[in-house]
Structure 1
Amino acid sequence: MNFHAPIDQDRASAVTLSPTIPAGRPHSKTGRIGVLLSNLGTPDATDTRSIRRYLAEFLSDARVIELPKWKWYPILYGIVLNTRPQKTGANYKTIWNTEKDESPMRTICNAQTAALAQAFADEPRVAVELGMRYGNPSIESALEKLVAQGCDRIVFFPLYPQYSATTTATANDQLFRALMKLRDQPAVRTVPVYYDEPAYIEALASSIEDHLSTLDFEPDVVLASYHGIPKRYAENGDPYPQHCHETTRLLRARLGWDDKRLLTTFQSLFGKEEWIRPYTDETVRRLAGEGVRRIAIVNPGFSADCIETLEEIDGEVREIFIHAGGEKFSHIPCLNDREDGMAMIEDIVRREIKGWL
């Protein structure tokens, strides 16, 4: 029995010689890879209008405020956005990078992006851009830049070591919302959280040791202060608290400290409901009351110094500790664009694009 159908030569030639190529991006793939770094974001300026615009975007995110709109929006637009921008703007002014007229976070994130781009300078197929979850430059605009450069594969890297739906998840959400607008979508990989990566722990430990070596005092206690989330979010399954405690545990092991020398606390409370404990401000007040006179605070959950570390920790929390009887206080900078921190980010990116290059 003959299973080979006869070939219609004229029809085969027509198909071969006259392919239909849809309009849009060229049919052949470029093979370029885009790396999209992302962080929380920042207002464009310290004036009330800029702060209000930023806070409106941030606080209307259902991942951040898990309340029904009918319940939350009257509070947000009727109270919060009419009262909070003035205070927040004043706080930003105390840390603002006046030379570049931008927030420290934007300055640092731009430096991180430039450093990572330089690390891939010998690989022309890799392009690096920065996109903030809130404010500018947006995730959507960064994605557009990468696609315009011929990137048909994207590695998305939210710079949050510990996972939370309020940070990592909402950044991923925003990326995929941007992708939904594209007819010809690039392939995408999202970078896993790295709270227990050996290189991350080593970079953190080294940054702590380096900073403490510059001080004229030895801290009695060091606090690892992480951004908090409402207790209800954790009870509903957010793994963030466990990730934070594991980071601290690994840091203790690396530094050779016990749980009395390095404590885990949570900061940046918002609203009236209970957040995960212990709170950073209450802890420093308690320590001072117990006779602790010298402390330092590190922020392992922040990849770049920002208003929560520079103004809240090195400003408000420092003042709380001193007023409660403390004598010496030091804030340990975030990894920012430190060489070992950037080497860690580069290593993670190279691991994620393995097989694409």
Structure 2
Amino acid sequence: MKRLAIVLYNLGGPDRLEAVEPFLFNLFMDKAIIDAPLPIRWLLAKFISKRRAPVAQEIYNHIGGKSPILELTNQQALALEKALGRHLKGVKVQCFICMRYWHPLSPQAVQTVKAFNPDHIIQLPLYPQYSTTTTESSFSDWDQVAQTIGLKVSSNRICCFPNDSGWLTAQSDLLKAAYEQALSEAGGKPVRVLFSAHGLPKKLVEKRGDPYPRQIELGAAQIVQTLKSQGIELTDWLVSYQSRVGRLEWIGPSTEDEIKRAGLEGNALVILPIAFVTEHSETLVELDIEYKHVATEAGVDTYVRVPAVGTHPAFIEGLADMVLLALEQPQKTCPGGGKERLCATDVAGCPVVPTTT
């Protein structure tokens, strides 16, 4: 193998205020988000995106009028290329970004990869936890476009990494610093840690068997265990979910409700965004501005938000290790190149067939 392409998937975000409405339209046109026949889905996507655009534009106004996700993902791509370059001598490694709802979208990404003419492709979602609404949707969109454009190259994919050692180490390092900061600021008040993840409609878990919440819980528990091995025992922590939209019932508890409860119970708070690898509107606006205001109103005096992992060395090295392991095991991989199924066998939405070996 002389040329290796790494495709990094993420949701994407509008690169200017005028892009907010079409970005939202692309989001709600995704069958994984609105499961309705195409004509109805198009009408719903058009209606919802037009109605929500002014509110979303105001959100992006708080962070310079655009999402920083593409620039930050580019930084991760460059860091991963350097890390893999240290391990794969004589191989031209290049990372390609493929966003689901805004540029670079699958058609552009597939064409760019095809022009690179790789000998092999590794598909690596930057969604730590597998969900039918994110990972599966990105895979499906890529497959459809690749078939249309005629990209025929040997390929395998990493489905998820909620318990990857590099991911856990990076999260634990950042949480440790935030927790110690909260302890010093709390004035003796107990400190509660919220592992906040983007929410999901409850029906997707019950009807599709989406493994996302179980993987969130698995990762949170292992981060707590990692800190315990370092002599820091978190006695008060829980998983919560943010960013609820629409009228459907979502998985819970909600991060907003838990912030209010912390105020009633006299707790300081540390918030760790456990489902996000880069900063974007859900961290920079929802957590840092909107939920911090909720915390202040609820009487939470100490509110510390853990940064996203970004290009933390342990995280990047963990991604590199997953790619290397996936190259050794070219079948469908879970997690991070391993043969063993991560999800329980009753989780129907897990894409990995249980192995008997």
TM range (shorter): 0.7 to 0.9
Letter in 2 for 1:51: V
1:302 partner SS = coil
Q: Which residue of 1 aligns with 2:61?
A: 93
1-side partners of 2:84 and 2:37: how far apart? 44
Distance change in 2, residues 1:158/1:355 (3 Å): closer
Query: Unaligned 5+ residue runs, structure 1?
Result: 1-29
Quote how far apart the aligned CAs of 1:355 are.
7.0
Residue 218 (structure 2) aligned to one of 246, 268, 276: 246
Q: Which residue of 2 aligns with 1:38?
A: 9
The reply on whether 1:221 has 2:165 as its aligned counterpart is no
Render the CA deviation track for 1:106-157: whole Å, top value 9, x for unaligned.
2210100111122234544322111111111123322222221220311111
Q: Which residue of 2 aligns with 1:272?
A: 247
TM-score (norm: length of structure 1): 0.84
The reply on whether 1:107 has 2:81 as its aligned counterpart is no
2-side partners of 1:46 and 1:246: how far apart? 37
CA contact (8 A) 1:130 1:139 kept: no
Which has the larger Rg? 1
Quote how far apart the aligned CAs of 1:71 are.
5.2
Letter in 2 for 1:183: G
Q: Which residue of 1 aligns with 2:341?
A: none
Quote how far apart the aligned CAs of 1:224 are.
0.2
Letter in 1 for 2:118: C
Which of 188-197 and 271-280 deviates more? 188-197
Instruction: Give the total of aligned pairs.
Output: 319
2-side partners of 1:252 and 1:274: how far apart? 28
Distance change in 2, residues 1:241/1:184 (3 Å): closer
The reply on whether 1:233 has 2:204 as its aligned counterpart is yes
The reply on whether 1:255 has 2:227 as its aligned counterpart is yes
Provide the alpha-carbon RMSD of the alignment.
2.1
Q: Which residue of 2 aligns with 1:290?
A: 265
Residue 160 (structure 2) aligned to one of 188, 193, 209: 193
TM-score (norm: length of structure 2): 0.84
Which of 319-328 and 120-129 deviates more? 120-129
Query: Unaligned 5+ residue runs, structure 2?
Result: 331-357
Identity of aligned residues (%): 25
Letter in 1 for 2:237: L
Render the CA deviation track for 1:314-354: whole Å, top value 9, x for unaligned.
11111111101111111111111111111111111111123
2-side partners of 1:338 and 1:346: how far apart? 13
Distance change in 2, residues 1:144/1:74 (3 Å): closer
Distance change in 2, residues 1:72/1:145 (3 Å): closer
The reply on whether 1:353 has 2:327 as its aligned counterpart is yes
Pairwise mapping of residues 1-357 of structure 1 onto structure 2 (< 5 A)?
31-47=2-18, 50-69=19-38, 72-78=41-47, 80-96=48-64, 102-121=66-85, 122-183=89-150, 185-214=152-181, 216-218=184-186, 220-236=191-207, 237-256=209-228, 260-292=235-267, 294-354=268-328
Q: Which residue of 2 aligns with 1:27?
A: none
1:59 partner SS = helix
Letter in 2 for 1:238: D
Quote how far apart the aligned CAs of 1:76 are.
3.3
1-side partners of 2:224 and 2:306: how far apart? 16
Quote how far apart the aligned CAs of 1:75 are.
3.9
2:7 partner SS = strand
2-side partners of 1:213 and 1:184: how far apart? 50
